[in-house]
Each structure stands twice: as structure tokens, then as C-alpha cells.
Amino acid sequence: MHYVKSLCGYITAMNLMVGRVVGYSIYLIFILLIAEVIMRYFFRQPTTWTGELSQLVFGAYVMLSGAYLLANKGHVNVDIFYQNLGPRTQSFINLLTSFLFFAFILVLITEGWELASDSISRIERSGSAWNPQIWPVKLAVPVGACLLLLQGIANFVEDFLILIEKNIEI
């Protein structure tokens, strides 16, 4: 049982670390957009690439930060009812609803991988004036979904352990 708890802890720690690293991309987006504003309004030399690069970075940010949010229990919840329930009841509800989560994630992984592998094989580009390769962002879909799946499994195990054990610290 200790091994299972440790593995859940490692998965959560990994997702928290990935989320912290990916979180710094917001600063990159901020810098890009500020640079675009400065170039456009002060130097009258707008760029063709900063807006699109900001969108691509934000797309990867969204996909790769989902597991961080799940590890921090930050996803949408009906707290008006949920917060008044005991830990075991909350865990039971989490276990019941996790099957919807796993079904969605499996579809996201399979469809995301199909989207990404097609984009990689064609070396897909955006088609804009700048025309960057967009397969790295599309690859973030199945990678982020796999991170979400791992965190979902860790949360599932933790909720299950709360149900079956008397005194558990997770």
C-alpha cells in the first residue's frame, strides 16, 4: 500500500512541476504582446509573428496545465453542496464521477494522437504569412491528456484509499 501512495505522490509532484514550468509561458506571451504593441505603436513596424506565436504558446499552455489544475483540485465543482460533505462522501462522489472523466480523457488521447500524428507526418504549417510549424502544439493535446490521465488515476487511487482505510493521510 505504501508503494501505491508513493507512486500517487510522484505523479502529483511531476504534474505540479510541469504546471509550474509551463506557467512561465504566460510571461513569454506577455512579453510577446508587449513587444508587438511597442513595435506597432512606437516604431510603426508591426510584426507578423507575435500574435500567432502567442496563440500557439497559449494553446500548449492550456493543454499542458490541466493536470496541474487537477492535482490542485482546481477544476469546476458544485462547491455549495460538495464542501459540506465529509471526506468519505466526497471521495465516493469523486469515484462515481471519475468514470466520465476517464471516458473523456481516453477520447482526448486517441483523437489528440490522431490529430498530432497526422500533423507531424505532414509537417503541418499554419498557412499564415509567418507560416510556422504547428505540430508541436498539436502534440501538446495527447501529451497533456496523458498527464491528465495519470493525475486522474492518482486521484482515483487516493479517493479509493480514503474509502477503504480508517486513518489515511494523502
167, 28 in Cβ contact below 8 A? Answer: no
164: three-class secondary structure by DSSP: helix
Domain-embedded: residue 111: yes
Structural element, H or E, at residue 122: none
> 18-73: per-residue pLDDT in tens?
999 999 999 999 999 999 999 999 999 999 999 999 999 999 999 999 999 999 99
Number of domains in the chain: 1
How many angstroms separate the CA atoms of 40 and 38, rounded? 6
Contacts of residues 74-77 at CB distance under 8 Å and 24 or more positions apart, as own/partner, are none
Domain-embedded: residue 169: no
Domain-embedded: residue 39: yes
Residue with grid cell 512541476, as numbered in its chain: 17
Cell (9 digits) for 107: 477520447
Domain-embedded: residue 82: yes
What is the residue range of 73's domain? 2-164
How many angstroms separate the CA atoms of 166 and 162, rounded? 7
How many angstroms separate the CA atoms of 105 and 27, rounded? 28
116, 139 in Cβ contact below 8 A? Answer: yes
Per-chain mean pLDDT for the chain? 94
Q: What is residue 169's predicted lDDT score, i.e. its pLDDT?
A: 54
Statement: the pTM of the whole predicted model exceeds 0.75:
yes
> 107-126: per-residue pLDDT in tens?
999 999 999 999 999 999 99
Pick from 31, 101, 118, 96: nearest CA to 66: 101
145: pLDDT strictly greater than 60: yes
Q: Is 44 left (phi over 0), alpha (psi -120 to 50) or beta?
A: left
